[in-house]
């Protein structure tokens, strides 16, 4: 089968979070399973773009309402990622340094989608499946079905994967002319609550919808940022497929971002060496457990609870642990986390920003990773952490619920708590400190986690079965 993935992110080309990791890995494993999976994404101004070799494969001329533009499709020449990678260059709109966060994101991603469909419609053959990811590509199932000029693509099956339903790409109806002329009787297929809602449209029009864990799919029928009723109505075509992790990129015995490699057999010494480096770099105490947080400092991740939870832990439990936070996001949370640095007694630090290599060192050198997420469709951090022998402390939600079993239960290995509130987080920190001092149990759990299989192989099979069913 030939599958074309359409996404706003793909690691290592451009990544803001887990979407990039998934789109950088799934196609590779689909290819390994004998299929042809390709990726098309916007051409941002990234290091990857400058460092690699490209050829122009297509040039087209199309329009976003009354704005006519030329787009160019370039292809990476060497198959360096293990799949064919295509970038869409639209002068002035996509060729920017950031992925998201511009005022004209609606124009940017709509023109991206138009260029992609335009390009596919110029192919001399048809792909077997168009697989779109999140709202940035959510209008494509509609376009393929209902835009007059793409009628010849109508029979191509489309799959939408929802990585995060919090973001839906809402646009006012004043922007309806952006979408190439479409059957006006199908207005309802774009609309959700009097807005053009690309994610809702994708759910309505895609042949199949997947979410990145089973529990998240169940939760969406109850809480989906206003789209609950739609998920209830469309449940027949929705299926949860848990993400995998790329075991080649995320392997403590070969990881290119760390110097001290280790395996299950050498986990104790290996982690200690990495912890030493972290503690020296960030002025932390190597004799205390190291609890880290890596991620976007936003409400979904429960990041706003961190300052109070850290403060309360020091107050109620004592200065028995280190904290190291890596991330950026809400300015107020950054300010509070920055402020805590001035109160550190060699047991707290915060790195504001995005740093891929530091994140790898943190998975390797920390003892625990804290994820007090309010919403977590899948979560990759906990799976990376476990592969590196780091114990996840997670809220019982979404993909965290599907991947972490509390060590108090039979066969368990992580720490789970029910509510995204300061009290529950503080209690989980207390449990982490207790566990850390039971060195035998700690070693047993580390080894157990490192042997768990979160590889893509089984998830890829489920995607292949899904494609075949279409
Ligand atoms: P989400 O996609 O919702 O942000 P995931 O757990 O699926 O959450 O994936 C997050 C990915 O982004 C992981 O690969 C994580 O290591 C990475 N990441 C998040 N924040 C940072 C950061 N500040 N620096 C480096 N990597 C980060
Ligand atoms: C989203 C979700 C995250 C998930 C990732 C990859 O960003 O927030 O939970 O792991 O997508 O699917």
**Cα of 319 from ligand 2 centre, angstroms:** 33
**Cα of 343 from ligand 1 centre, angstroms:** 27
Give the long-range contacts of residues 96-103, CB within 8 A, separation 24 or more: 96/44, 96/45, 97/44, 97/45, 97/46, 98/44, 99/8, 99/9, 99/14, 99/16, 99/42, 99/44, 100/8, 100/16
Kindly report the pTM of this predicted structure: 0.96
Q: Are residues 93 and 17 in the same domain?
A: yes
pLDDT (tens digit per residue) in 226-272? 999 999 999 999 999 999 999 999 999 999 999 999 999 999 999 99
Q: Are residues 226 and 315 in the same domain?
A: no
Is pLDDT above 90 for 59? yes
**Cα of 123 from ligand 1 centre, angstroms:** 35
Q: Are residues 462 and 436 in the same domain?
A: no
Pocket test for ligand 2, best of 26, 165, 376, 378 (most atoms within 8 A of CB): 378
Q: Are residues 382 and 282 in the same domain?
A: yes
Strands 290-294 and 322-327: parallel
Is pLDDT above 90 for 138? yes
Total domains present in the chain: 2
Is pLDDT above 90 for 120? yes
- Residue ranges making up the domain that contains 231: 2-244+457-469
Residue 458's pLDDT band (cuts 50, 70, 90): confident
Q: Are residues 192 and 220 in the same domain?
A: yes
CATH of the domain at 132: 3.40.50.2000
Q: Are residues 208 and 356 in the same domain?
A: no
Residue 380 CB less than 6 A away from ligand 2: yes
Residue 294 CB less than 6 A away from ligand 1: yes
pLDDT value of residue 116: 98
Would 252 be classed as within a structural domain? no
pLDDT (tens digit per residue) in 252-261? 999 999 999 9
Residue 378 CB less than 6 A away from ligand 2: yes
Would 259 be classed as within a structural domain? no
Is pLDDT above 90 for 45? yes
Would 165 be classed as within a structural domain? yes
Q: Are residues 321 and 464 in the same domain?
A: no
Would 257 be classed as within a structural domain? no
Q: Are residues 442 and 315 in the same domain?
A: yes
**Cα of 143 from ligand 1 centre, angstroms:** 31
**Average pLDDT of the segment spanning 192-206:** 98
């Amino acid at each position: 089968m030939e599958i074309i993935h359409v996404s706003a992110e793909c690691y290592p080309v451009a990544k803001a979070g887990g979407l990039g990791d998934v789109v950088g890995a799934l196609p590779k494993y689909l290819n390994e399973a004998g299929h042809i999976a390709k990726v098309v994404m916007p051409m941002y101004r990234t290091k990857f773009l400058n460092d690699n070799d490209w050829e122009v494969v297509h040039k087209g001329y199309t329009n976003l309402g009354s704005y006519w533009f030329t787009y160019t499709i370039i292809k990476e020449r060497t198959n360096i990622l293990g799949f064919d990678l295509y970038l869409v260059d639209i002068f002035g709109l996509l060729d920017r340094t950031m992925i998201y966060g511009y005022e004209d994101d609606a124009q940017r991603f709509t023109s991206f989608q138009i260029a992609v469909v335009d390009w596919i419609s110029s192919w001399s053959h048809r792909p077997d499946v168009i697989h779109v990811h999140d709202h940035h590509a959510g209008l494509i199932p509609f376009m393929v079905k209902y835009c007059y000029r793409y009628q010849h693509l109508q029979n191509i099956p489309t799959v939408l994967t929802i990585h995060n339903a919090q973001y839906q790409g809402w646009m006012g109806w004043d922007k309806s002319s952006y979408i190439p002329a479409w059957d006006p009787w199908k207005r309802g297929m774009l609309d959700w609550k009097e807005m053009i809602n690309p994610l809702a449209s994708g759910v309505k029009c895609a042949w199949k919808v997947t979410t990145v864990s089973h529990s998240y799919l169940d939760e969406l029928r109850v809480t989906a940022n206003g789209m609950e009723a739609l998920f209830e109505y469309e449940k027949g075509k929705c299926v949860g497929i848990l993400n995998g992790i790329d075991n080649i990129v995320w392997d403590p015995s070969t990881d290119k971002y760390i110097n001290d490699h280790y395996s299950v057999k050498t986990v104790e010494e290996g982690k200690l060496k990495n912890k030493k480096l972290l503690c020296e770099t960030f002025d932390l105490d190597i004799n205390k457990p190291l609890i880290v947080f890596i991620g976007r400092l936003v409400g979904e991740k429960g990041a706003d609870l961190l300052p109070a939870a850290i403060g309360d832990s020091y107050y109620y439990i004592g200065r028995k642990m280190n904290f190291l936070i890596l991330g950026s996001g809400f300015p107020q949370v950054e300010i509070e986390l920055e402020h805590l640095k001035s109160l550190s007694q060699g047991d707290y630090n915060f790195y504001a920003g995005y740093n891929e290599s530091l994140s790898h060192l943190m998975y390797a050198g920390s003892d625990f990773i804290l994820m007090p997420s309010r919403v977590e469709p899948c979560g990759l951090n906990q799976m990376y952490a476990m592969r590196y022998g780091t114990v996840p402390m997670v809220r019982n939600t979404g993909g965290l619920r599907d991947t972490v079993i509390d060590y108090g239960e039979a066969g368990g290995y992580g720490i789970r708590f029910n509510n995204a509130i300061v009290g529950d987080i503080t209690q989980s920190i207390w449990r982490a400190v207790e566990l850390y001092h039971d060195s035998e149990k700690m070693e047993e759990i580390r080894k157990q986690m490192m042997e768990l299989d979160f590889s893509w192989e089984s998830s890829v099979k489920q995607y292949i079965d899904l494609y075949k069913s279409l």
